[in-house]
């Protein structure tokens, strides 16, 4: 066996050499690489003398042993596989990218982040012979044997990765004789003013913040029209890679990592920057101490940055990583520093439980989960999570911006308090999280695979709007601010936001007592409640206030609730929020809520309710959201909602018996902003019922018989954000009708008749839109 290693990095030959893969195109200086003898018996690398070999591709100088016969080597810098003989080197057709991954935790890497080399693996291909920079013509010719070329003052030594709009090189600063990572924008993108502005904004954003937990910037420069960023070479691994290896992070370690992330964010926020893409891949664990470094400010925006000529990101564009986005970011609404706190909450939740809180089978389902699904509390999946940390995590994940901590600094203080409490309690290292098989997929508790339903005010990601959709309409039509739903009572005392209480404890004592008993029953049944018209969902008996209160919201998702249990809620007339998805409630159980005529939110997803049972809602004229997805209802049941003139969100996905006459009962409704008719029998004729819904933001018509004729009713919806037309007969002409929808952020076209030319034409008109079709994905520009 033959061992090769990089002497410049101080690596050593190993008794157990390994073939290593350049993970996510980040690995730079790899400790050891196993090489293969061709037709020769193995040798011990310790028994042979080292010899310098130059990779014919990236020109990196490697140290190896003199070959006997022919030996095949893998270059640890670029992945090129080549042969070594006593007479020189020969190129092989293999690449290091095909080798099994075994990257050690202490790999020296350059950060590429979400905006750089993401998921593709590319090998720099260069012919054998003298060093050349032809593969990257923007590099000046090499001046030394080990160089690919020169860029500005730097010696470019090897390619670390390519992807997105740029490439990252291993380079050396000759003046300081230190290794650096050089992030370069490729010429084809550097010529685009908008893309170039975004690249330079990343550099300026990072350089503006000096903090131990934010990666430093050595220099921002431009050479021959090519902008570049010089950054440190980092030793360690990303949190994403760490979680792949060890998804169960000890609680104390998770708290420390989250605190250091929050400290870095506090520094960035203090400089007026919002990161907008906090996720494990952008968190680096540096060295043996695993000190946090927040990476990749490529999506960062100055908090005060407007939408004028200098703004790079168009308003309404949905930019970021879906599973870690805040609800307001997922719906293209304006964001502030608290969007980063939501993302931090997602990362913290993942570390504590070993799973992401928001999971979907595709991007629409993930966005739906982000905006409408409430995950199990961390302590439910990992009993080692202390109560204050459990509460803080859920508060970070609050759908409503105002229910999250006000600043990253407050999060730092809260996490320090958690650490102090754990230290004083002498807590042992936490055992691996106790995973709940059902909790790994939010589908059973979600409102529908596509929709954006389900959270208490239903925001919009694919489903609801009230919460973070921000702008809805009241009965008269004027715009009002809609508060986002979910959230939990804050864990930190000084930040705790108590639910509003009755100002006069003596008022309606009997009513208050009755509501308390019903609230306690709902919680014991595994559900939650809302009180006094508040947006906070209370799921623990201890969180109920001691003062009298009104029960205004009921959230039950358990399948174990009996008809007798439902009967207890008969006459609870103060309810405005009725969220009963995936329960066994039948027509008889539903009849107990007939007197709750003030209900504005109704979710009966995947229940046994029939058309006959919906008759109890005939007088419910205040409804603003109706979700009946995955039920057997038809027009005979929907007729009872024909007078709901204030309706804003309608979710009827997978109601497979629903036809055009059924949805005609909603003709004349003007304020609808979310509509899901996926997997129904609705046609172009039925869609005419919604031609007056000019404020439409979320439209899901997947797996229906609609064509461009029906789609024409929505072509003037200027606020349209998400459009799903999968498995329909949509053509290029049908898609072209939406070129004028400036707010479009996501379009889903898989299984349609749209062609490559049609997608390309649409992308030119709406460059900020992410388009998925049978040919792949067109990312926003």
With beta carbons less than 8 A apart as the criterion, state whether 507 and 553 touch. no
Residues forming beta bridges with residue 286, ordered by sequence position: 236, 291
Note whether 276 and 146 are within 8 A (CB): no
Q: Where are the domains of the chain?
A: 2-232, 246-440
Q: Which of 35, 146, 241, 277 is catalytic?
A: 277
- Sites in the chain below the pLDDT cut of 50: 1-52, 57-59, 63-68, 86-133, 304-317, 427-513
Which positions ≥6 away from 323 have C-beta within 8 Å?
279, 346, 356, 358, 359, 360, 366, 370
pLDDT at 299: 53
CATH classification of 2-232 is 3.30.200.20, yes or no?
yes
Q: Which residue has the tokens 């105002």?
A: 402
Which CATH class for the 246-440 domain?
mainly alpha
277 catalytic residue (yes or no) = yes
**Sign (positive or negative) of CA dihedral 249, 250, 251, 257:** negative
DSSP line for 153-195? TEEEEEEEEEETTEEEEEEEETTTTEEEEEEEE-HHHHTSHHH
End-to-end CA distance of the chain: 48
Sheet holding 70-74, edge to edge: 2-4, 33-38, 70-74, 80-85, 88-95
Residue recorded with tokens 């309690």: 425
Number of Cβ atoms within 10 Å of the Cβ of 417: 17
Q: Check if the beta carbon of residue 49 is closer than 8 Å to that of residue 65.
A: yes
Q: Determine the pLDDT at residue 288.
A: 82
State pLDDT tens for residues 702-731. Answer: 999 999 999 999 999 999 999 999 999 999
What element of type H or E holds 756?
A: helix 756-765
Question: For residues 197 and 311, is the Cβ–Cβ distance under 8 A?
Answer: no
d(CA 555, CA 284): 39
CA distance 123 to 128: 14
Contact status, residue 37 vs residue 124, Cβ threshold 8 Å:
no
Q: Are strands 88-95 and 108-109 parallel, antiparallel or unpaired?
A: unpaired
Asked if residue 614 lies in contact with residue 637, where contact means CB atoms within 8 angstroms, the answer is yes
CA 294 to chain centre: 17
- Who contacts 352 (Cβ-Cβ below 8 Å, separation ≥6)? 249, 251, 254, 378, 381, 382, 385, 389, 393, 433
Length of the chain: 781
Cα–Cα distance, 479 to 436 (Å, whole number): 42
pLDDT of residue 414: 92
- What is the pTM for the complete model shown? 0.45
What is the H or E stretch that residue 451 is in?
A: none
């Amino acid at each position: 066996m033959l061992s090769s290693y990089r002497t410049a990095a101080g690596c050593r030959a190993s008794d157990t050499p390994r073939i290593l893969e350049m993970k996510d195109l980040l690995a730079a200086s790899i400790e050891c690489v196993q090489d293969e003898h061709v037709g020769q018996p193995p040798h011990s690398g310790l028994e042979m003398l080292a010899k310098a070999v130059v990779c014919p591709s990236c020109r990196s100088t490697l140290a190896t042993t003199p070959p006997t016969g022919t030996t095949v080597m893998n270059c640890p810098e670029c992945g090129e596989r080549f042969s070594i003989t006593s007479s020189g080197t020969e190129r092989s057709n293999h690449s290091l990218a095909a080798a099994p991954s075994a990257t050690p935790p202490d790999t020296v890497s350059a950060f590429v982040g979400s905006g750089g080399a993401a998921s593709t693996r590319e090998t720099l291909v260069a012919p054998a012979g003298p060093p050349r920079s032809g593969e990257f013509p923007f590099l000046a010719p090499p001046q030394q044997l080990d160089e690919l070329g020169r860029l500005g003052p730097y010696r470019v030594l090897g390619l670390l990765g390519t992807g997105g709009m740029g490439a990252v090189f291993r380079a050396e600063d000759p003046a300081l004789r230190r290794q650096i990572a050089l992030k370069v924008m490729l010429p084809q993108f550097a010529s685009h003013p908008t893309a170039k502005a975004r690249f330079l904004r990343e550099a300026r954003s990072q350089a503006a913040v000096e903090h131990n937990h934010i990666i430093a910037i050595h220099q921002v420069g431009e050479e021959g029209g090519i902008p570049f960023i010089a950054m440190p070479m980092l030793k360690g691994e990303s949190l994403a890679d760490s979680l792949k290896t060890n998804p169960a992070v000890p609680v104390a370690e998770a708290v420390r990592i989250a605190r250091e992330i929050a400290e870095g964010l506090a520094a960035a926020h203090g400089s007026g920057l919002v990161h907008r893409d906090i996720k494990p891949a952008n968190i680096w664990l540096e060295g043996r101490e695993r000190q946090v470094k927040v990476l990749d400010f490529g999506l960062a925006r100055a908090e005060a940055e407007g939408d004028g000529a200098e703004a790079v990101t168009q308003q309404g564009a949905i930019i970021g990583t879906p599973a870690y986005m805040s609800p307001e970011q997922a719906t293209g609404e304006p964001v502030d520093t608290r969007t980063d706190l939501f993302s931090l909450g997602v990362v913290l939740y993942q570390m504590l439980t070993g799973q992401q809180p928001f999971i979907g089978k595709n991007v629409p389902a993930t966005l739906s989960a982000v905006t409408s699904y409430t995950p199990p509390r961390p302590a439910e999946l990992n009993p080692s999570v202390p109560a204050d940390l459990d509460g803080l995590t859920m508060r970070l994940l609050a759908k409503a911006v105002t229910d999250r901590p006000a600043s990253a600094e407050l999060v730092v203080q809260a996490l320090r308090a958690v650490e102090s409490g754990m230290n004083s309690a002498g807590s042992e290292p936490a055992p691996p999280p106790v995973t709940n098989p059902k909790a790994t997929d939010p589908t059973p508790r979600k409102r529908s695979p596509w929709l954006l339903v389900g959270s208490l005010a239903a925001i919009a990601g694919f489903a609801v709007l009230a919460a973070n959709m921000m702008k809805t309409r009241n009965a008269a039509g004027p715009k009002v601010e809609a508060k986002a739903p979910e959230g939990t009572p804050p864990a930190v005392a000084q930040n705790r936001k108590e639910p509003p209480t009755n100002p006069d404890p003596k008022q309606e004592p009997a009513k208050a007592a009755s509501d308390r008993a019903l609230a306690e029953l709902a919680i014991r049944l595994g559900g939650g409640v809302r009180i006094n018209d508040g947006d906070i969902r209370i799921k623990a008996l201890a969180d109920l206030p001691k003062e009298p209160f009104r029960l205004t919201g009921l959230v039950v998702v358990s399948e174990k609730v009996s008809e007798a249990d439902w009967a207890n809620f008969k006459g609870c007339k103060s309810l405005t929020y009725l969220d009963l998805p995936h329960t066994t409630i039948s027509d008889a159980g539903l009849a107990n809520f007939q007197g709750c005529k003030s209900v504005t939110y109704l979710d009966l997803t995947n229940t046994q309710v029939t058309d006959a049972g919906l008759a109890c809602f005939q007088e419910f004229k205040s409804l603003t959201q109706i979700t009946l997805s995955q039920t057997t209802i038809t027009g005979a049941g929907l007729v009872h909602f024909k007078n709901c003139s204030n309706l804003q969100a309608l979710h009827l996905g997978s109601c497979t018996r629903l036809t055009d006459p059924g949805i005609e009962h909603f003709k004349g409704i003007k304020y609808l902003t979310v509509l899901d008719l996926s997997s129904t029998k609705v046609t172009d004729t039925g869609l005419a019922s919604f031609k007056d819904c000019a404020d439409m933001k979320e439209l899901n018509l997947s797996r229906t018989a609609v064509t461009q004729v029906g789609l024409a009713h929505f072509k003037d919806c200027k606020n349209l954000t998400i459009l799903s037309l999968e498995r329909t007969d949509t053509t290029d002409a049908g898609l072209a009708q939406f070129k004028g929808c400036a707010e479009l952020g996501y379009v889903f076209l898989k299984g349609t008749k749209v062609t490559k030319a049609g997608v390309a034409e649409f992308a030119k008109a709406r460059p900020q839109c992410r388009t998925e079709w049978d040919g792949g994905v067109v990312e926003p520009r």
